[in-house]
A and B are shown apart, each in its own frame.
Chain A
Amino acid sequence: MVMLGVLVPPIATIIIMDQVVLNRKIEDSKLRPVNFVPVAFICWALASVVSFYFNSNLPQYCTSFISIITAAIFYAVANAIVKPKLIED
């Protein structure tokens, strides 16, 4: 249960950041994703590590909340540096 609270919230947060907060062109059918998006996976891993640290050492803080916030920050920063690519059909 605790590992779910560490690993899963960043997945949800990264999708929200990508498709709701940062990029609203979700209906453009001419665009499709590349095969593998490293930025998304790196942010997932980093946010999971941070929330795992809090869960192990500072469980009095809400790990899930920290997991969401860190994933959002990591993805926003990463997106500003490296824009995830979409390919035109």
Chain B
Amino acid sequence: MSSNQILESEFEHVPVPKDHRKSFISVASVWASFPMTLTSAVLGGLVTANLGFKMGVAAILTGNMLLCVVVGLLSYLAGSTGKSFAISAQRTFGNYGYIAVSALLATVVIGWFALMTGLTGATMYETFGQSEVGMTILAGVLFIAGTFIGIRFLAFFGYIAGPLFVILGAIAIYYAVQTGTADIMSYQAVIEPSKAMPFGLCASIVFSTFIDSGTMTSDFTRWSKTGWQGFWASTTAFPFTKSIAELIGAIIVATGSSVITDPATNGGQFSNLLVHHNAVLTFIVVLFIFINLGVACTHCLYNGAVGWAMITKKKMRLLTIILGVIGVTAAASGMWGA
């Protein structure tokens, strides 16, 4: 396969032509894998710690159904027109006016890229004692390289990352039940009601975690063959896979596992449940941390690069390198945790 076949045009400045659109499975893979991250599990656990299991699940589903409507309609539009978010925003906010909204969102997602690249290094340090800065830089270089390939890599990455998350999430639930209880339905909030986040705020946070990339869904779903394919591709993520990822975190917290310390702060972060069992599983967990957080990082960097490519009239791949280096530098310097 030649480099031209791997590095196909990303159509940064024009709508994706019909004959370059991708299959439904390919676009759905890009979206479905994106929310299946440890950060979603952390959030699901945090919401459960604040509201208890039943109300926590209700807040998770409420936030994700709201995302389903908003992101679904934008995805329908993108599949109909083939336009990226920036091109689409140009029509509504103006030829130059779009720069304000596109720059805002494209910058926010680079912040997410830096945060989660830093989180990869931090998780490797906390779980395995590896050099945090070294792991952050290694992860950042790998994530930039993946994003450089483009939408084709995001789809391929999704085929691996989504199933791996579900399998390891199920194993984590098994170990959580072993060290806690299976009676998750009766789990009550660990934070006293006067200090806990109310239901509406929890649902709003569930919604807000993906509203930036969700608003930029067109960057992914412009590759859909039709509007409806774009709509259904986005529904694989909202409400389905994002809810699944957050429910895994919610269940793990609700087991009251002794391994999950301080769920009000750490939520459903479950990587600690998977280590120290056997060497094979530990090795898989190392891969999992890179792949799992890598999915979110490559998607965010792609969003940012497509947005800034339109604003600067440069190529997406050049912006991937520039923004990626900025993000990794911020992550390695510890700014991501600021």
Residue interface mask B91-131, A partner, CB < 8 A = 1: 11111110011001100100000000000000000000000
Q: Identify the closest chain A residue to B198 (Cβ).
A: A60
B201:A15 contact, CB within 8 angstroms:
no
Name the contact of B200 in the complex, choosing from A11, A16, A61, A68 (C-beta under 8 A).
Answer: A61
Given A2-B205, A59-B200: A64 and B211 interface contact (C-beta under 8 Å)? yes
A59:B201 contact, CB within 8 angstroms:
yes
B94:A34 contact, CB within 8 angstroms:
yes
Rounded to whole angstroms, the CA-CA distance of A8 and B102 in the bound complex is: 11
Name the contact of A18 in the complex, choosing from B91, B95, B197 (C-beta under 8 A).
Answer: B91
Rounded to whole angstroms, the CA-CA distance of A84 and B91 in the bound complex is: 10
In the assembled complex, which residues on chain A have CB atoms less than 8 Å from the CB atom of B66? 62, 64-65, 68
B91:A33 contact, CB within 8 angstroms:
yes
User: Does B73 touch A at the CB level, under 8 Å?
Assistant: yes
User: Does B150 touch A at the CB level, under 8 Å?
Assistant: no
User: Does B329 touch A at the CB level, under 8 Å?
Assistant: no
In the assembled complex, which residues on chain B have CB atoms less than 8 Å from the CB atom of A12? 70-71, 74, 211, 214-215
A63:B201 contact, CB within 8 angstroms:
yes
Chain A binder among B76-84, B238-246, B283-291, B310-318: B76-84
B211:A63 contact, CB within 8 angstroms:
no
In the assembled complex, which residues on chain B have CB atoms less than 8 Å from the CB atom of A60? 198-201
Rounded to whole angstroms, the CA-CA distance of A87 and B209 in the bound complex is: 37
Given A15-B74, A33-B90: A5 and B207 interface contact (C-beta under 8 Å)? yes
CB A28 to nearest CB in B, in angstroms, measures 10
CB B301 to nearest CB in A, in angstroms, measures 18
Rounded to whole angstroms, the CA-CA distance of A1 and B215 in the bound complex is: 15
B95:A8 contact, CB within 8 angstroms:
no
CB B61 to nearest CB in A, in angstroms, measures 12
User: Does B181 touch A at the CB level, under 8 Å?
Assistant: no
B92:A37 contact, CB within 8 angstroms:
yes
Rounded to whole angstroms, the CA-CA distance of A60 and B94 in the bound complex is: 36
Name the contact of A13 in the complex, choosing from B70, B96, B105, B204 (C-beta under 8 A).
Answer: B70
User: Does B224 touch A at the CB level, under 8 Å?
Assistant: no
User: Does A82 touch B at the CB level, under 8 Å?
Assistant: no
Given A19-B92, A36-B94: A2 and B200 interface contact (C-beta under 8 Å)? no
Q: Identify the closest chain B residue to A31 (Cβ).
A: B91
B97:A35 contact, CB within 8 angstroms:
yes
User: Does B333 touch A at the CB level, under 8 Å?
Assistant: no
Which residues of chain A from 37 to 85 have any CB-CB distance to chain B below 8 Å in the complex?
A: 37, 40-41, 44, 55, 59-65, 68, 84
CB A2 to nearest CB in B, in angstroms, measures 7
In the assembled complex, which residues on chain A have CB atoms less than 8 Å from the CB atom of B90? 33
User: Does B298 touch A at the CB level, under 8 Å?
Assistant: no
Rounded to whole angstroms, the CA-CA distance of A63 and B201 in the bound complex is: 7
In the assembled complex, which residues on chain A have CB atoms less than 8 Å from the CB atom of B265? none
A36:B96 contact, CB within 8 angstroms:
yes
Rounded to whole angstroms, the CA-CA distance of A32 and B88 in the bound complex is: 11
B211:A8 contact, CB within 8 angstroms:
yes
User: Does B203 touch A at the CB level, under 8 Å?
Assistant: yes
Residue interface mask B185-200, A partner, CB < 8 A = 1: 0000000000001111
21 CB-based A-B contacts, threshold 8 Å: A1-B208, A2-B205, A2-B208, A5-B207, A9-B70, A9-B215, A11-B89, A11-B215, A12-B74, A15-B74, A16-B77, A26-B81, A26-B91, A32-B91, A33-B93, A36-B95, A40-B92, A40-B94, A60-B198, A65-B203, A68-B66
Q: What 10 A-B pairs come out closest when comparing CB atoms?
A: A5-B208, A60-B198, A62-B200, A64-B207, A36-B94, A12-B215, A37-B94, A18-B92, A36-B97, A64-B204
Given A19-B88, A59-B198, A86-B91, 8 more A-B residue pairs with CB atoms under 8 Å apart are A11-B101, A26-B81, A32-B91, A35-B95, A59-B201, A63-B204, A64-B63, A64-B203
Residues on B lying within 8 angstroms of A by beta carbon are 62-63, 66, 70-71, 73-74, 76-77, 80-81, 88-97, 100-101, 104-105, 108, 197-201, 203-205, 207-209, 211-212, 214-215
